[in-house]
Structure 1
């Protein structure tokens, strides 16, 4: 009888992943994302000052 072999075995520790070097395409993609995010934030800031978009509410009459 060997009592030490039962149960789950612990997985081996995996080495830390090295920082992936970014090539030109990755850098360009990251830069484009940053620019798009800045544009989005500017548009969002402009939209906040304008108020609600749909102000044309149809009022119902009191008659049924």
Structure 2
């Protein structure tokens, strides 16, 4: 079928999601999760500064 409409079709707009109402427990859980992620990110940054853990790597045999 030939159509004079060229190019891609635009996707239909999705309706905006309603804002969720959070109670105190939900807010506390969300804040706790954010704090844990922040601490984990800091630990990763700290660990990357020190370099490799063992430092020795793979040992090679003396044979040639």
Bigger Rg, structure 1 or 2: 1
1:15-47 deviations in Å (ceiling 9; x for gaps): 754212001111001100110011011101111
After TM superposition, the score normalised by the length of structure 2 is 0.62
In the alignment, structure 2 segments of 5+ residues that lack a partner are 1-14
Residue 18 of structure 1: aligned partner: 18
- The answer to whether structure 1 residue 44 and structure 2 residue 34 are counterparts is no
- The CA distance in 1 between the partners of 2:16 and 2:50, in whole Å, is 50
Tell me the distance in 2 between the aligned counterparts of 1:30 and 1:53.
Answer: 33
TM-score (norm 1): 0.62
Number of aligned residues: 50
Q: Which runs of 5+ in 1 are unaligned?
A: 1-14
Does residue 27 (structure 1) correspond to residue 35 (structure 2)? The answer is no
| Structure-2 change in CA distance of 1:53 and 1:21 (3 Å) | same
